[in-house]
Amino acid sequence: MALVVMCTLASCQPNRKQLLESRLQTLSESTELGTVEYTVKKIVKSNDKQWYTVGDRRILFQTTAYLKAGIKLDGFGVENIKVDNDNNAVVTLPHAQLLSFNMPDDEISTVFEDYGYFRSKFNAEEQNKILRLGEENIRNDVQNLGILQDAEKNADEIFTALLQPLNYKTITIKFE
């Protein structure tokens, strides 16, 4: 009788695959897993001294950009987690990438502007072009900021914490 009860109880408990699927369901409903946010303050400057003009003009902006990085989860599912016969789990995730970039207009200020007597002020179109170059500079510097490395480190910690209660011997997170 005790054997029948134990077998019945064991069959009632969800297996590891079902537990894994239920843990991953919330993640799979989202297309992105933002794991880190950076706030970057940037000074953007331009010196418009040209040989064919009399005098020069200079402008200096201070701006703030908000960057969010993480993992795109498009198509992520249980098939991205391989478990071997020794109960070791390997999770394969895509490399981290910049998920959002926001440089709000209300956080851009002109710190300094100087123009020669024979020169005009920077017009709105010229100012926007200078600020776009500043934004491009920040985007190009994402690798050097360490944001993508931090995003992958945090994704590793999130997935490890998510899978630890399932009692795998080891959990390895790899990025491809």
The string of DSSP codes covering 92-103 is: EEPPPEEEEEE-
60 closest CA partner among 118, 101, 132, 108: 108
Contact 67, 38 (CB under 8 A): yes
Contact 89, 172 (CB under 8 A): yes
pLDDT tens-digit readout, 91-128: 999 999 999 999 999 998 888 887 777 778 888 898 89
pLDDT tens-digit readout, 60-73: 899 999 999 999 98
Q: d(Cα 119, Cα 8) in Å, to the nearest integer?
A: 88
CB atoms within 10 A of CB 150: 17
Q: d(Cα 115, Cα 49) in Å, to the nearest integer?
A: 10
The pTM of this model reads 0.75
